[in-house]
Amino acid sequence: NAGVTQTPKFQVLKTGQSMTLQCAQDMNHNSMYWYRQDPGMGLRLIYYSASEGTTDKGEVPNGYNVSRLNKREFSLRLESAAPSQTSVYFCASKTSWAYEQYFGPGTRLTVT
Amino acid sequence: QQPVQSPQAVILREGEDAVINCSSSKALYSVHWYRQKHGEAPVFLMILLKGGEQKGHDKISASFNEKKQQSSLYLTASQLSYSGTYFCGTGGDNDYKLSFGAGTTVTVRA
């Protein structure tokens, strides 16, 4: 069991470039989440998917789009990266009948 | 709205105790506690539900005061392995979404 995997681990983008962060889980979880973590700000929810086929905005959705490709995969897209999107991005998942969220190892993104 | 955690940081010697507080301006249905070690992903510690009992995880326990909309995490007889940043996440009536506090960094020294 790999748990929650994220690719890439590190990425440097120039302002205006686009990219997609990939997340996959092999635990048959229904719900998946994307967070960003900035120093002094904790974890802030960008988007989440309560179940396959649904997505909803979190606290900080501006500048991002998501796709729940299937039950396993949930991707986060930055259409036109900005320096303010420099952050560590975490994907998480959980099952319907438990509260614990399982986090992936994170992607460190720098936008110059 | 993010819950407020205090203190921002605490330094302990092995064997000492500490309390981390988490408060919200909104009514709470649940409080979730996570710990993140440096460079790693957050890991779930415990959840406290409205009307539920105080929980424990090894020598780490927590309480939930619904009326005050607060939760406290108690680190008892701290060990070196307790070092890390502790986050509280608060849930409303939709348990799919959590709002996390800014975190409390705990450093335990020998």
> What does the DSSP assignment read for A37-105?
EETTTEEEEEEEESSTT--EE-S--TTEEEEE-SSSBEEEEESS--GGG-EEEEEEEE-TT--PPEE--
Average pLDDT over residues B99-109: 96
- Is A31 close to B96, i.e. CB distance below 8 A? yes
Could you tell me the two tokens for B96? Answer: 């799919």
pLDDT for the residue numbered B55? 67
Distance of alpha carbon B69 from alpha carbon B72, whole angstroms: 11
Q: Mean pLDDT across the stretch B55-79? A: 88
pLDDT at B104 over 90: yes
pLDDT at position B37 is 96
Q: What is the pLDDT of residues B3-52, one digit of tens each?
A: 999 999 999 999 999 999 999 998 888 899 999 999 999 999 999 988 76
Contacts of B60 (CB under 8 A, 6+ apart): B45, B46, B73, B74, B75, B76, B82
Structure tokens at B65: 């005061």
**Residue B86: is it exposed, middle or buried by C-beta count within 10 angstroms (0-12/13-18/19+)?**
buried
- B15 vs chain A: nearest CA distance in angstroms? 27
Q: Do B102 and A40 touch (CB under 8 A)?
A: yes
Contact list in B for residue A60 (CB cut-off 8 A) is none
- pLDDT above 90: residue A98: no
Q: Residue A40: is its pLDDT beyond 90?
A: no
Q: Cβ separation of B30 and A99 shorter than 8 Å?
A: yes
For residue A51, pLDDT beyond 80? yes
Selected residue of B24, B40, B45, B98 to mutate for chain A interface (largest A Cβ count, 10 A)? B98
